[in-house]
């Protein structure tokens, strides 16, 4: 979509995948030590065409196809980063990032600590999460697994502008970072700054102001949250929607201020609720401002089926968020409370 008349002043309209490609291209032009490694990242342009044009411009020395060997890919990336390069390692499905956790956790994230700050591993692991008809081993969201690793940062953009800004920031980080995108975001378009800008890691964004309940989400679930907020508004409930954008570090201050103002906190995620993102958000906010009304919405405790009906039954949608918000806010919406309780019984609590 590049080249179209911008939707807003000083922006261009890009697909999510184009925003990623533009950010990587700019950083590769800026810094000759930025390289891309992954399956099908070369002439094919990436599994979702998010690296289109890079191979033609930079060649096989800087855009390298790899075997299907995620542990080796991440391990090579960590070694290159320790040696002064800035590698971007592309893992097609987040499920397979599990195979690369040893070099990422035990070497990349710990390098600064083990060397007393003399060495770092400025590695970006880009991986694609989320359910979109591809079954049990290609649909998982395990962001919360990564959040507790000292030395590792995690970002998850929800729109093309943040896809661009956060990728630029990621490729300038001093340590390892996991950049999580989502299958359902790639076809989406949005306004991206025309000027080369860099995002701020660790800063959440209020996308919709509200007074009755604070709703947090990240990645594709931000779209679900905004849809739910509009439905709630139609029923007279004012919902403030916060896009987390960065999961580690987490912008607790922005969330806590909002929750203190609204008096209620609802978290939404596609990953499992047990030890999940929402649990961490709720705990951090309670530590900051004290007890408050809070609830979490997430998937059912089951693998994501490739059957579209079963997939939809597992993954949270706007209807579940609306029911949970009404239950959280009390007797005024008691009719919806039973449905919300049933929906969230599977969270592992």
Q: What is the pLDDT of residues 118-156, one digit of tens each?
A: 999 999 999 999 999 888 999 999 999 999 999 999 999
Q: Show the 3-state SS of the chain.
A: CCCCCCCCCCEEEEEHHHHHHHHHHHHHHHCCCEEEEECCCCCCCCCCCCCCCHHHHHCCCCEEECCCCHHHHHHHHHHHHHCCCEEEEEECCHHHHHHHHHHHHHHHCCHHHHCCCCCCCCCEEEEEECCCCCCCCCCCCCHHHHHCCCCCEEECCCCHHHHHHHHHHHCCCCCCEEEEEEHHHCCCEEEEECCCCCCCCCCCEEEECCCCEEEEECCCHHHHHHHHHHHHHHCCCCEEEEECCEEECCCHHHHHHHHHHHCEEEEECCCCCCCCHHHHHHHHHHHHHCCCEEEEECCCCCCCCCCHHHHHHHCCCHHHHHHHHHHHHCHHHHHHHHHHHHHHHHHCC
Q: Residue 151 has what pLDDT?
A: 96
Which of 288, 262, 283, 162 lies closest to 218 in space, CA to CA? 162
Percent of the chain with pLDDT over 90: 89
Domains of the chain: 11-193 (3.40.50.970), 205-343 (3.40.50.920)
**More confident site: 191 or 334:** 191
Q: Residue 103 has what pLDDT?
A: 97
Question: Is residue 90's pLDDT more than 70?
Answer: yes
Q: Residue 133 has what pLDDT?
A: 87
Q: Residue 63 has what pLDDT?
A: 98
Q: Residue 13 has what pLDDT?
A: 96
Q: Residue 333 has what pLDDT?
A: 61
Average pLDDT score over residue span 175-192: 97
Question: Is residue 349's pLDDT more than 50?
Answer: no
The 10s digit of each residue's pLDDT in 291-321 is: 999 999 999 999 999 999 999 999 999 999 9
Question: Is residue 2's pLDDT more than 90?
Answer: no
The 10s digit of each residue's pLDDT in 247-286 is: 999 999 999 999 999 999 999 999 999 999 999 999 999 9
Our answer to whether residue 138 is catalytic in this structure is: yes
Q: What is the mean pLDDT of the chain?
A: 93
Q: Among 6-20, 34-48, 206-220, which stretch is predicted with the lowest mean pLDDT?
A: 6-20
Average pLDDT score over residue span 47-64: 97
Structure confidence at residue 104 as a pLDDT band (50, 70, 90): very high
Tell whether pTM > 0.85: yes
Q: Residue 347 has what pLDDT?
A: 47
Q: Residue 149 has what pLDDT?
A: 97
Structure confidence at residue 37 as a pLDDT band (50, 70, 90): very high
* Phi, psi (deg, nearest 5) at residue 74: -70, -40
Average pLDDT score over residue span 101-107: 97
Percent of the chain with pLDDT over 70: 93
Catalytic hit among 86, 112, 126, 138? 138
């Amino acid at each position: 979509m590049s080249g179209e008349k911008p939707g807003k002043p000083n922006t261009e309209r890009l697909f999510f995948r184009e925003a990623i490609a533009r950010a990587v291209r700019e950083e590769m032009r800026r810094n000759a030590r930025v390289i891309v490694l992954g399956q099908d990242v070369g002439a094919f342009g990436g599994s979702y065409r998010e690296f289109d044009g890079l191979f033609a411009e930079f060649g096989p020395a800087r855009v390298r196809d790899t075997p299907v060997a995620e542990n080796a890919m991440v391990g090579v990336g960590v070694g290159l980063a320790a040696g002064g390069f800035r590698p971007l390692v592309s893992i097609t499905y987040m499920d397979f990032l599990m195979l690369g956790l040893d070099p990422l956790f035990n070497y990349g994230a710990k390098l600064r600590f083990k060397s007393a700050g003399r060495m770092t591993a400025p590695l970006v692991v880009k991986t694609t999460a989320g359910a979109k008809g591809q079954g049990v081993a290609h649909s998982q969201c395990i962001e919360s697994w990564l959040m507790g690793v000292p030395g590792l940062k995690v970002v998850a953009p929800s729109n093309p502008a943040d896809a661009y800004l956060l990728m630029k920031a990621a490729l300038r980080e001093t340590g390892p970072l996991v950049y999580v995108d989502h299958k359902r975001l790639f076809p989406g378009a949005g306004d991206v700054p025309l000027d080369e800008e860099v995002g701020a890691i660790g800063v959440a964004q209020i996308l919709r102001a509200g007074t009755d309940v604070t709703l947090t989400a990240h990645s594709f679930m931000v779209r679900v949250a905004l849809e739910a907020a509009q439905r709630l508004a139609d029923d007279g409930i004012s919902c403030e929607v916060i896009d987390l954008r960065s999961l580690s570090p987490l912008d607790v201050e922005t969330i806590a201020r909002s929750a203190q103002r609204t008096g209620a906190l609802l978290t939404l995620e596609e990953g499992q609720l047990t030890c999940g993102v929402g649990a961490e958000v709720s705990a951090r906010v309670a530590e900051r401002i004290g007890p408050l009304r809070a609830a979490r919405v997430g998937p059912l405790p089951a693998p994501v089926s490739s059957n579209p009906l079963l997939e939809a039954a597992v993954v949270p949608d706007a209807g579940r968020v609306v029911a949970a918000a009404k239950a959280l806010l009390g007797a005024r919406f008691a009719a919806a409370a039973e449905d919300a309780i049933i929906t969230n019984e599977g969270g592992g609590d």
